[in-house]
């Protein structure tokens, strides 16, 4: 394998930048571009030791640096690794990297350091994927899930299930291939019990998947309502800035305005829509049609009503359009006298929040209802769970094979057919952990990483 190098810190000005070099020639490359203060050479340094010195390119001094050596196999990648910590200016950092490339290293590809850690057995595939989740975590619960995966919780449970399936396959093969030997008969009842236990463990891996996906990817959220109920004011309140135009004139918002905002641990991918009402304006009408489509496609709908006036025909039309399971009704303008008949709303929508978008009050209550409707308060983020679509697909495929095997046993099919289904489930689990996975899948996993990781 070639020796790779990259800047492992963000591409921005900072106090310190780190240039990471990994591979068989990492030590020799570093020795050509770094001179320690003192008599000891880089090649003489032991693992987990540091030296202060000068980074240079031939005769040109580049920067004062601290060099850290990690000797194989006791490094992140499992190879010899050298890290140069220099001042965090973009120009000087690139100069040090170019020097490393000039003396034998090659540019690392996206995610190549973690990919080498996986290929060298330092991480399983689920742990490697967790590295990117840790880097991109935006909240406490999201970080907790990523750290759990990094510690190998999903891998350990998947491996446990895999070992049980291998034992079942071994018992089936031995009983079928050596009928003359004194081998215990495989009883369908006992086999069903074993497969059911594996199925239940695998189901636990996907139980919290949707909650984890919501934390990682955010929630497509539409703010809807008739004109002038305060949709844009609420949008601006949640966004923390003036993104939508707010006036007393009905129909100000004609297009969909989008913004990602954090509400607690949740990212809402907000869309401020046109006021839903009958209109003869062609352009405004297009905006209303788009708003109605957002009701159908959004994962979360925040329906805004003006608490300072009775419900209108447009309000009633909207109430009948929304899906109660994923809708929160916001009674806005609590800073003035309210005359709205809330009983009509309660008959149709379970989650009702009172707030003043203008005064930014009641937002905490909205947050609580969002958590409840998304069922985040029911999720256990300390347990092992699938972290992405690749992992979930592997588990779903394994579950499909196991459930088919259980059904086959229940209707009395031959054990040869059951064995094939169990083997398919086993292959899916090996793909999950990366123990049997194609190069294309591995490349796809690490293509989502940034360079230097």
User: Are residues 429 and 161 in contact, defined by beta-carbon separation less than 8 angstroms?
Assistant: yes
Task: Report pLDDT digits (tens) over 285-323.
Answer: 666 677 777 788 888 999 899 988 898 888 888 888 887
Residue 252 confidence (pLDDT): 42
Q: Tokens 């965090």 label which residue?
A: 88
Distance, in Å, from the CA atom of 415 to the CA atom of 293, rounded to the nearest integer, reads 50
Q: Is the pLDDT of residue 247 over 50?
A: no
Distance, in Å, from the CA atom of 276 to the CA atom of 337, rounded to the nearest integer, reads 24
Give per-residue burial for 293-312: e unless 16+ CB within 10 Å, then b: ebbeebbbbbbbbbbbeebe
Q: How confident is the model at residue 127 (pLDDT cuts 50, 70, 90)?
A: confident
The residue that leads in pLDDT, 159 or 70, is: 70
Q: How confident is the model at residue 280 (pLDDT cuts 50, 70, 90)?
A: low
Q: β-strands 351-354, 266-272: how paired?
A: unpaired
Residue 249 CA, chain-centre distance (Å), reads: 41
Q: Is the pLDDT of residue 278 over 80?
A: no
Q: Tokens 């497969």 label which residue?
A: 195
Counting residues of the chain whose pLDDT is more than 70, the rounded percentage is 89
Distance, in Å, from the CA atom of 342 to the CA atom of 320, rounded to the nearest integer, reads 15
User: Are residues 110 and 446 in contact, defined by beta-carbon separation less than 8 angstroms?
Assistant: yes
Q: Is the pLDDT of residue 250 over 50?
A: no
Cis peptide before 73 (omega within 30 of 0): yes
Distance, in Å, from the CA atom of 391 to the CA atom of 158, rounded to the nearest integer, reads 11
Cα–Cα distances in angstroms (integers) from residue 183 to residues 165, 171, 179, in the given order: 19, 9, 7
Q: Is the pLDDT of residue 283 over 60?
A: no
- Report, as an integer, the average pLDDT of 256-263: 76
Q: CA-based angle 52:34:49, to the nearest 5?
A: 45
Residue 248 confidence (pLDDT): 43
Enter the tokens of residue 35: 């001179």
Q: Is the pLDDT of residue 435 over 50?
A: yes
- Report, as an integer, the average pLDDT of 427-443: 85
Which DSSP string do the residues of 299-341 spell out, in sequence order? SEEEEEEETTS---HHHHHHHHHS-GGGEEEEEE-TTS-----
Residue 244 confidence (pLDDT): 40
Residue 146 CB neighbours (<10 A): 24
Q: Is the pLDDT of residue 38 over 60?
A: yes
The residue that leads in pLDDT, 265 or 261, is: 261
Distance, in Å, from the CA atom of 161 to the CA atom of 363, rounded to the nearest integer, reads 44
Distance, in Å, from the CA atom of 157 to the CA atom of 165, rounded to the nearest integer, reads 13
């Amino acid at each position: 394998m070639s020796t790779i190098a990259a800047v492992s810190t963000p591409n921005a000005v900072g106090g310190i930048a780190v240039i990471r070099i990994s591979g068989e020639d990492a030590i020799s490359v570093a020795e050509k571009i770094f001179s320690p203060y003192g008599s000891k050479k880089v090649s003489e340094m032991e693992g987990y030791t540091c030296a202060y010195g000068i980074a240079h390119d031939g005769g040109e001094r580049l920067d004062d640096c601290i060099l850290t050596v990690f000797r194989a196999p006791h490094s992140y990648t499992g190879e010899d690794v050298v890290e140069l910590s220099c001042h965090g200016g973009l120009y000087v950092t690139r100069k040090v990297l170019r020097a490393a490339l000039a003396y034998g290293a090659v540019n690392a590809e996206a995610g190549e350091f973690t990919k080498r850690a996986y290929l060298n057995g330092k991480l399983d595939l689920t742990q490697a994927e967790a590295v990117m989740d840790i880097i991109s975590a935006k909240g406490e619960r999201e970080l907790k899930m990523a750290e759990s995966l990094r510690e190998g919780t999903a891998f350990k449970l998947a491996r446990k299930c895999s070992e049980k399936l291998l034992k079942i396959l071994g018992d089936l093969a031995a009983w079928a291939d050596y009928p003359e030997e004194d081998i215990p008969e495989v009883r369908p009842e006992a086999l069903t019990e074993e497969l059911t236990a594996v199925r239940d463990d695998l189901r636990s891996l996907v139980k919290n998947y949707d909650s984890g996906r919501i934390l990682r990817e955010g929630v497509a959220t539409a703010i809807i309502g008739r004109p002038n109920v305060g949709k844009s004011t609420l949008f601006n309140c949640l966004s923390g800035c003036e993104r939508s135009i707010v006036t007393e004139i009905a129909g100000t918002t004609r297009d969909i305005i989008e913004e990602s905002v954090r509400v607690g641990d949740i990212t809402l991918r907000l869309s401020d829509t046109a006021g839903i009402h009958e209109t003869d304006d062609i352009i405004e009408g297009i905006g209303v049609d788009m708003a109605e489509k957002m009701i159908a496609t959004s994962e979360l709908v925040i329906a805004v009503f003006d608490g300072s006036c009775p419900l209108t025909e447009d309000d009633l039309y909207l109430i009948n359009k929304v899906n109660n399971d994923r809708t929160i009704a916001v009674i806005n303008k609590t800073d003035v006298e309210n005359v709205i008949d809330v009983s009509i709303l309660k008959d149709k929508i379970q989650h009702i929040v009172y707030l003043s978008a203008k005064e930014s009050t009641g937002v905490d209550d909205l947050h609580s209802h969002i958590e409840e409707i998304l069922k985040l308060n029911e999720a256990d983020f300390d347990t092992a769970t699938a972290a992405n679509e690749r992992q979930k697909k592997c588990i779903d495929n394994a579950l499909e094979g196991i459930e088919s095997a259980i059904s086959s046993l229940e209707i009395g099919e031959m054990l040869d057919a059951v064995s094939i289904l169990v083997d398919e489930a086993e292959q899916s689990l090996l793909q999950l952990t990366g123990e049997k996975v194609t190069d294309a899948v591995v490349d796809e996993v690490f293509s989502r990483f940034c360079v230097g990781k």
